[in-house]
Amino acid sequence: MTKRRDFLKISALGGLAFVSNSIKANMPKGTGFTATNGGKPLVISTWNHGLAANAKAWEVLEAGGHAIDAVEKGVMIPEADPEVRSVGYGGYPDRDGNVTLDAAIMDHDASTGAVSFLQGIKHPINVARLVMDKTPHVMLTGEGAQQFAREQGFKEENLLTEKSKQDWEEWKQKSDYKPIINIENHDTIGMLAIDKEGKVAASCTTSGAAWKMHGRVGDSPIVGAGLFVDGEVGAATATGLGEAVIRTAGSAIVVELMRNGMSPFDACKEATHRIYKRHKGRPEFDYLQVGFIAINNKGEYGGYSLRKGFNFAVHDANGATLQDAIYHYEE
Ligand code: SD4
């Protein structure tokens, strides 16, 4: 059972983000810890693996590159890393042992590309980018996405590492079909960036919920759910149980709330609260986790989650930080 945390108590904390003590000790002096500071350029992404991904994206931004290129290059780092068990190569398979990937990318002008249920391609974000750049469509799925990738020269490879295969074999002993979310603090990477020109962009890539049903697609490749960008306002991305984020159009809501004047932090909080209201009493509530991060077009940022354990990485001219998100529930 989880204990309800009073929203009012949390809001008394204002926009402050909790920062891990170890990170705090290493923070450069003068770096603000508020979740609403920021500037241009800036990149922010979900979870610990966001640190390495942001470092790559930062190279693009610092050199004066576009946000859309930064968010594509950045998330390729965890996609290729077999130790990141929830993204790309090395990701946990579905319950039948297939690694199936979802990814999307979106620019400030609403240009968008996505792939879902894609197999055998290590960098789905690159395929999503080409869907955006080279087709009249927004999303390709399954075999069609794979065919497109093949035509574009992508190499097909086995993405199921020995380690993930062993974990799957172990899981099969129990065959508990509950999708597992947020294991070991590693998960989907969602990345948001604002470049020197003030343009925002977002990307999101994942192997989805471990042991999911074959064919299941989460929120990550769905525009408005796993990510959303409106160049006049800002951008948002989500992590956690994709079904809950899809049901509530999570990232679109965060951006719309910012349009109506909320700070990124408050918008993430309100969207999380809506998910809480919609899901309280549902069977999946006991294992439900969702987290949002957002930036606005001034370079302010924030993050928030339903339960403890979500963190996000930020990289700007002051350096790199990892911040623990404020959350709704004490577990
Ligand atoms: C999904 N949202 O496929 C992704 C997985 C995730 O934290 O982010 N888990 O539902």
Task: Give the number of the atom of ligand 1 that is nearest the alpha carbon of residue 182.
Answer: 7
pLDDT (tens digit, 9 = 90+) per residue, 52-73?
Answer: 999 999 999 999 999 999 999 9
Task: Give the number of the atom of ligand 1 that is nearest the alpha carbon of residue 207.
Answer: 3
The whole-number average pLDDT for the span 245-266 is 97
What CATH number does residue 38 fall under? 3.60.20.30
Query: 240 has which bridge partners?
Result: 290
Q: How many CB atoms lie within 10 A of CB 228?
A: 29
Alpha-helical (H) ranges within 135-284 are: 142-151, 162-174, 242-247, 250-259, 264-279
- In-domain check, residue 304: yes
pTM of the full predicted structure?
A: 0.87
Confidence (pLDDT) at 172: 85
Nearest to 112 by CA among 88, 92, 137: 137
- In-domain check, residue 69: yes
Pair 306, 250: CB distance under 8 Å? no
How many A from CA of 188 to the centre of ligand 1? Answer: 6
Q: How confident is the model at residue 324 (pLDDT cuts 50, 70, 90)?
A: very high
Domain hosting 208: range is: 9-26+33-329
Tell me how far the alpha carbon of residue 329 is from its chain's centroid: 20
Q: Confirm or reject: Cβ of 251 under 6 Å from ligand 1.
A: no
- In-domain check, residue 243: yes
- In-domain check, residue 3: no
Mean pLDDT computed over every residue of the chain: 86
The whole-number average pLDDT for the span 123-146 is 98
pLDDT (tens digit, 9 = 90+) per residue, 187-204?
Answer: 889 999 999 999 999 999
Sheet of 234-240, strands arranged across: 227-230, 234-240, 290-296, 301-307, 326-329
Please indicate whether residue 248 is annotated as part of the active site.
no
Task: Give the number of the atom of ligand 1 that is nearest the alpha carbon of residue 241.
Answer: 10
Q: How far apart are CA 284 and CA 2, in angstroms?
A: 13
pLDDT (tens digit, 9 = 90+) per residue, 160-181?
Answer: 888 888 988 888 887 766 655 5
Q: Confirm or reject: Cβ of 124 under 6 Å from ligand 1.
A: no
Confidence (pLDDT) at 178: 64
Q: How confident is the model at residue 32 (pLDDT cuts 50, 70, 90)?
A: very low
Q: Concatenated DSSP letters for 209-228?
A: SBTPPTT---STTSBTTTEE
Q: How far apart are CA 243 and CA 249, in angstroms?
A: 10
Locate tokens 């930064």: which residue? 70
Q: How confident is the model at residue 82 (pLDDT cuts 50, 70, 90)?
A: confident
Phi/psi of residue 118, nearest 5 degrees: -90, 135
> Active site residue: 46, 100, 188, 272, which one?
188
Q: Which amino acid is at 271?
A: A
How many A from CA of 327 to the centre of ligand 1? Answer: 17
Among 143-147, 245-249, 276-280, which stretch is predicted with the lowest mean pLDDT? 276-280
Q: How far apart are CA 50 and CA 307, in angstroms?
A: 19
Nearest to 214 by CA among 99, 102, 103: 99
- In-domain check, residue 1: no
Whether the predicted pLDDT of 8 surpasses 50: no
Q: How many CB atoms lie within 10 A of CB 2?
A: 14
Query: Which two structure tokens, joined as six digits, stand for 305?
Result: 């989650």
**How many domains does one find in the chain?**
1
Pair 4, 10: CB distance under 8 Å? no
Q: Confirm or reject: Cβ of 190 under 6 Å from ligand 1.
A: no
pLDDT (tens digit, 9 = 90+) per residue, 12-30?
Answer: 222 233 333 333 333 232 2
